[in-house]
Every structure is written in C-alpha cells, then in structure tokens.
Amino acid sequence: MKINDEGQRLLVNLAQHYDAWMDACRLLFPGRLQWKTISDKNYLYRIADNVGNGSSLGRRSEETEGLYHDFLVARETRDNTAAQLKIDTGLFRALRLPRLPAFAGDVLRALDVRRLLGTSYLVVGTNAMVAYALEAAEVLPTGMETTDDLDLTWSQPVLGNNDTQPPNTLYAALKSIDPTYGVNAERQFQLRNARGQEVELLLAESIAEHWGRDQKIRPIPLFEQDWLLNGRQISHVVSDMSDKPARVAAPDPRWFGLHKLWLSKKPTRTTLKTGKDERQGMLVMNLVAEHMPHFPLDNTFRAELPDILLPHLERWEATRGS
C-alpha cells in the first residue's frame, strides 16, 4: 500500500527537523558547558557527568565566549526542534507508518550523535526493512514487523591519519544509554541488556583485519557481509515505539534483498529464520523493481554479482515471469 501524500510530506518534514535537532545534539555532545571560577579567574569547562567532573577549555576569552554562545544557541535549537519532533512522531504513529522498537531507536540515536551511523555502522536484518519501505514510499505488509533485536554491520570508516574508529565506540554508546548492556560471554558478537534486548554486530570478511584486537566485541567474519557494503546505502528518519525519532542507515536494497534470499537457502541457517528471510528478500526485490528506479536491476548490476548470488536473482525473476 502506497504511503499517501500526507505521509510523504510528514517524512520530508521529519527528516528536516531531525537533522536540525541532531546537529544541535552533536554540538552539545559529550557534555554541557559551564563557567567555573578558579583563583578569581573564569574558565570554561565541558562537564562530562552529573557530579560536575569535566575538562577545561581555557580561560574566559573571545574564543571561549564564542564557544559558550554556540552552546547556548545549540541548546535552544535542540529544545525547540525536540518539541516539533514530538508532534511529527505523533503524526507518524497516527498514519500507521512503520516504526522501530524503542530500544533500537535509543541505540541508533547514540550512534548518530557520535557520527558513527552510516559511516561506521549500518543497520541490517529486519529493522532495515523500515528504511526500504520508506525508500519505496510503501507501507510494510503485515508479518514484516521489526523484532526485539538489532543487527548492525561494521563498514570500516577511515578517519584522519589512516586510523580506523577509536576502540570500543559501539560498546561505549550502548553503555551510555543503558549501563546493563554487556558482551554475551557465549556469543561475543552480541551485546545484551538486563531486559534481554540484543544488539548483534556482524563483520565483513574483507575488512576483518581492521577490527582491533582491543575491541570488547568480537564479531565473526562472514564473507556474505561483504555484499552489504556494495552499492549505495540509504538513510531514512523514522519514529520508534516511544514516539522518538531515529535514523536508519541501511545497505543498498538490491544487495540486501539478494543477501536475504541467499540466507533463506543457507544450509546452516535455522529453519525458524529461513521463511522470514525468503519473504523479506522477495519483498525488498519487488520494492526495488516497482518503486526504486534509481536502483536499477540492469545488466550492469547483474555483472557486479558474484556467481553465488546469480541463482537467487534468477529465482526472484522467475516469480515475476521474467
């Protein structure tokens, strides 16, 4: 079912308001600014916790006055846009647009404010379906709901001086929103909180050597995750079940759809998941063919596919009489 004109207008406004809000949140991260008087001199401090601990940004000067002014403007912008976003997400719910679990929204916001979402990490698995539905301007059919776990894949950003991301950023982000998150000792690619909500990290085999040995999370390298780094990723702002906004950055829908179809036939895949994999893969490929002309399924794309995925493309084509 098509998202109507009212819904599409809302999505445009929601993304605009979210971007302004997130820009302000990033200026305020990782803590508030406050003046402190030490030996009769004023210093600007960035306060990192609720008991006043922080680091000095320097004595009062034109530069630190400017920093403090920017902080005040960012705080006002954050508060004003948060009020508008509350209205937007209420409308999002009323229009029955696809939403994320609340805990997934918390995780994605924590990654986004750290500039890790879409650069270091992509959303894969069932929660990515929300982004594909919005990209196609379609409502997800019943049975494609999100689940109470969140799958991410690492996309190996390169920062300055050829260094990859600082260590344990995902772990720190999750700890900041819920201190009960910890690495599952039996499945070290998984973080789980006291409520049983899970975040799993997947890793492409081709970039596994760049995953630092000092990381607390130990994802298993998988060759099929390399497929999800191909093509052009997509990004959409959605609402979660607590009526808060979150951004979903997900892989190219063509590669995601074929990956899902491949998973549905993977011998070691649990039968509890293969049926869902098949339905999701078929749905995403249909959305691409019918509503995403900017992701062509042409000979150029076909030539990029590894031999192992070609049968799954042909299997999908057969369902459409191609």
Extended beta strands in the chain, E state: 32-38, 41-47, 54-59, 121-124, 149-154, 182-184, 187-192, 198-204, 221-222, 234-239, 245-250
Distance between CA 62 and CA 77 in Å, rounded?
22
Other C-beta atoms within 10 Å of 12: how many? 10
Note the pLDDT of residue 9: 97
In this model, does residue 318 exceed pLDDT 90? yes
- Reported as a pLDDT band with limits 50, 70 and 90, residue 161 is very low
Note the pLDDT of residue 86: 97
Mean pLDDT, the chain, whole residue set:
91
- Reported as a pLDDT band with limits 50, 70 and 90, residue 163 is low
> What's the mean pLDDT in 44-71?
84
Whole-prediction pTM = 0.90
Note the pLDDT of residue 28: 87
* Residue 47 phi, psi dihedral angles, 5° rounding: -90, 125
Distances (CA, A) of 97 to 8, 38, 140, 175: 10, 53, 8, 30
Note the pLDDT of residue 165: 59
CB of 81 closer than 8 Å to CB of 21 = yes
Tens digit of each residue's pLDDT (9 = 90 or more) over 266-281: 999 988 889 999 999 9
DSSP string, 235-250: EEEEEBTTS-EEEEEE
* Residue 99 phi, psi dihedral angles, 5° rounding: -120, 165
Tens digit of each residue's pLDDT (9 = 90 or more) over 224-255: 999 999 999 999 999 999 999 999 999 999 99
In this model, does residue 35 exceed pLDDT 70? yes
- Reported as a pLDDT band with limits 50, 70 and 90, residue 159 is low
In this model, does residue 143 exceed pLDDT 70? no
